[in-house]
Copies of this chain bind each other. A is one copy, B any other.
Amino acid sequence: MDAVVAVVVLANNDANKFPHSAPPRQWSVYLSGEIHSPWRSELAEAVSHLPVTLTGPNDDHALSDDAGAMIHGAVPTRPHWDNIGARLNGLRTTTNLKEADLVVVKFGEKYRQWNAAFEAGYASALNIPIITIHPSSISHMLKEVNANATMAVESVDQVAAALDYTINGTVPATPEDWTPSENIWGKGNPNPGGK
């Protein structure tokens, strides 16, 4: 048993921290929602230095509508055509969703994306944390979803930063004009006597 070494995966932001060795935990992140923009590629690029596995639904819209019927055989009514397709797509999405450590859900102003909200609810019931991405203009409509989320952000870069911090304990760079909380409210609690 001599070759066994301890693997330490802790935040190591500066030199005072204890050493660690590879491999760190591999994170599985399911990317739900919007399929008409390249946000999944952009996030993949932004987290390419992190131990992250990205999964998600089939984002080829036409194929996701018709693959079920192509394999099963066409049927004459739309609800059943859709049902065959959606159940087959669900084999991929549900399997990946259940195994995710984190679900990122992107909502936009244009589409209803009920499946995105459905997947957020599914993840939430399974206690899988959620990060939502959406423009602030629709935050009120998303308040129930966001109330179940770890974080609601507006950009893919914020998700990448959240993952970098979560995994490595680093934040890319201090924002300009940043005032640390202890400069605002003091160290400890607002009422320092309270300890």
| Chain A interface residues (CB < 8 Å from chain B) | 1-11, 13-14, 16-20, 22-27, 31, 38, 40-41, 44-45, 47-60, 62-63, 65-72, 74-96, 101-102, 107, 109, 112-127, 129, 135-148, 150-153, 158, 161-162, 165-169, 171, 174-175, 178-182, 184-185, 188-191, 193-195
Contact = CB atoms under 8 A, between A and B. Distances in A.
Contacts of A124: 118, 121-122, 125
A54 B7 contact: yes
> What number of copies of this chain does the assembly contain?
8
B153 A72 contact: yes
B78 A140 contact: yes
Contacts of A118: 117-118, 120-121, 124, 144-145, 148
B122 A190 contact: no
A70 B9 contact: no
Contacts of A91: 102, 129, 150, 162, 166
